[in-house]
Amino acid sequence: MFGGGDATLEGGRPVGATFGENMRVLLVEDAPFLRYAFGRLLRMHGFEVREATDGQEALDMLGEFHPQLVLTDLMMPVMDGIELIRRIRANPRTADLPIVAITADATEQAERQARAAGAIDVITKPIDLPALLERLGKLGL
């Protein structure tokens, strides 16, 4: 599900280092195991991670945490990822916040819907962490 080992980019630098030390990431995932594993691996690469279990909890955290990136699952209870993305984009304080959607739904429709809501990228599960970090680096984050 998640790739192991130390991910590196050109020049042998750790992938997390390319994003700036302690980049603040809000991870929104309702599955406890995925949230734990994903959060732990991001922390191992130098990210400061806060975790939310649904979109409403994530919205409540935005004001105090001020993340530099939101990684959100799309299918969650209470408030799904699409609605979370829409609400982040509708708020002038968070409208420019980079959001990457994560989903088990590998259909084009799911990707179109996430991008239409305002996600800058859509990544399908299972997630390989080194590949995800490389992809975020290519997005300029």
- Report which of residues 119 and 139 the model is more confident about: 119
> pLDDT tier at 14 (50, 70, 90 boundaries)?
very low
Backbone angles phi, psi at 18, to 5 degrees: -70, -20
Mean pLDDT of the chain: 83
pLDDT digits (tens, 9 = 90+) for 27-84: 999 999 989 988 988 888 888 999 999 999 999 999 899 999 999 999 999 999 999 9
| Rounded distance between C-alpha atoms, residue 122 and residue 50, angstroms | 20
| Rounded distance between C-alpha atoms, residue 12 and residue 26, angstroms | 27
Domains for the chain: give ranges and CATH numbers.
Answer: 21-105+113-138 (3.40.50.2300)
